[in-house]
């Protein structure tokens, strides 16, 4: 004989019935505070997201301002460098012109006064012109040129030295 127990004889069925009855009786009382807690949490998450979005907008604005300031500073630095280069060129041209004028005047005076020692006087004037040019170049370089520009000028002067000496010997 095979005897099957009834519906109410199974403990599992009683648990299911008790669970359903519990939620029918207490469901509303539990759902209202639970929904309130969930709504409050959703509101706080939404507020945090809005705060994060606001902070991100502020950070982006600060980044744009910083980039603009950097660009302005870079442009100002370039303008200052160009101004310094132009001033250094002007000073170099003026110094070279003044040195050349001074050298020519000294050379004429030496030729007029010392006809017998013409070669010695010419050498002396050339040395004086070189000293004046060196001093003027040293001043220009010290005031306005960078180390890299300084090295380039020295290399250029060294390369032109044999040509300049040959030209002066021929004169």
Q: List pLDDT tens digits, range 9-30.
A: 888 988 999 988 888 888 778 8
Residue-range definition of the domain harbouring residue 98: 29-170
Domain count for the chain, please give it. Answer: 1
pTM: 0.36
1 in a structural domain: no
Q: Are 99 and 136 in contact (CB under 8 A)?
A: yes
64-112 pLDDT tens trace? 999 999 999 999 999 999 999 999 999 989 988 888 898 888 878 767 7
Alpha-helical segments (H) within the chain: 11-113, 118-144, 147-170
Residue 78 lies in a domain: yes
Locus of tokens 């000496």: 165
Could you tell me if residue 19 is inside a domain? Answer: no
Mean pLDDT (whole number) for 155-169: 81
């Amino acid at each position: 004989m095979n005897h099957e127990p009834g519906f109410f004889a199974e403990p599992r069925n009683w648990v299911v019935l008790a669970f359903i009855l519990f939620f029918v009786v207490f469901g509303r009382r539990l759902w209202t505070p639970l929904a309130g807690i969930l709504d409050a949490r959703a509101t706080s998450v939404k507020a945090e997201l809005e705060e994060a979005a606001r902070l991100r907008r502020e950070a982006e604005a600060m980044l744009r301002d910083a980039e603009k300031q950097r660009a302005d500073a870079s442009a100002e630095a370039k303008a200052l460098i160009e101004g310094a280069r132009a001033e250094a060129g002007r000073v170099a041209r003026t110094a070279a012109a003044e040195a050349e004028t001074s050298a020519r005047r000294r050379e004429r005076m030496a030729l007029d006064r010392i006809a017998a020692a013409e070669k010695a006087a010419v050498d002396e004037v050339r040395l004086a012109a070189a000293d004046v040019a060196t001093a003027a170049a040293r001043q220009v370089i010290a005031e306005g040129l960078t180390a890299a520009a300084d090295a380039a000028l020295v290399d250029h002067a060294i390369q032109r030295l044999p040509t300049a000496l040959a030209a002066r010997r021929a004169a």
